[in-house]
Amino acid sequence: MHVRKEDTVVILSGNDRGKKGRVLKVFPAKDRIIVEGVRFIKKHTKPSQQNQSGGIVTKEAPINVSNVMVICTKCGQPTRVKRREITEENRKRHTRACVKCGEVF
């Protein structure tokens, strides 16, 4: 996936188009992510030990990873991500890099 936990992303489509947020959780098997402050749903909960009162809880729901674009830490622009292979001490390592400025995240 081109997105990892703690990345800052911008939403490209849907009701929350244009909003920026931090990735809280990644589900690679389903190609979905949870972004902070985007796509809220209401969940009805029963009273439990943790939540004594129960009621309606508002929380973030997952969105498809294809609907977001990573924001580069250096140039601050939404950008595509390319994979770059780095060789260190006879070991190959893959990193992600900004397509616009080449910064490695």
Is 65 in the same domain as 83?
no
Do 67 and 86 belong together in one domain? no
**Pure H helices in 1-105:** none
52 and 2 within one domain: yes
Q: Is the domain of 60 the same as that of 98?
A: no
- The CATH number of the domain where 11 resides is what? 2.30.30.30
Tens digit of each residue's pLDDT, the chain (105 residues): 899 999 999 999 999 999 999 999 999 999 999 999 999 999 999 999 988 999 999 999 999 999 999 999 999 999 999 998 888 888 998 999 999 998 888
Number of structural domains (the chain) is 2
Are 10 and 40 part of one and the same domain?
A: yes
- For 9, 34, 78, 84, 99, the CA distances from 62, given in Å and listed in that order, are 14, 4, 20, 28, 26
Full domain range(s) for residue 49 = 1-71
The verdict on 29 and 51 lying in the same domain is yes
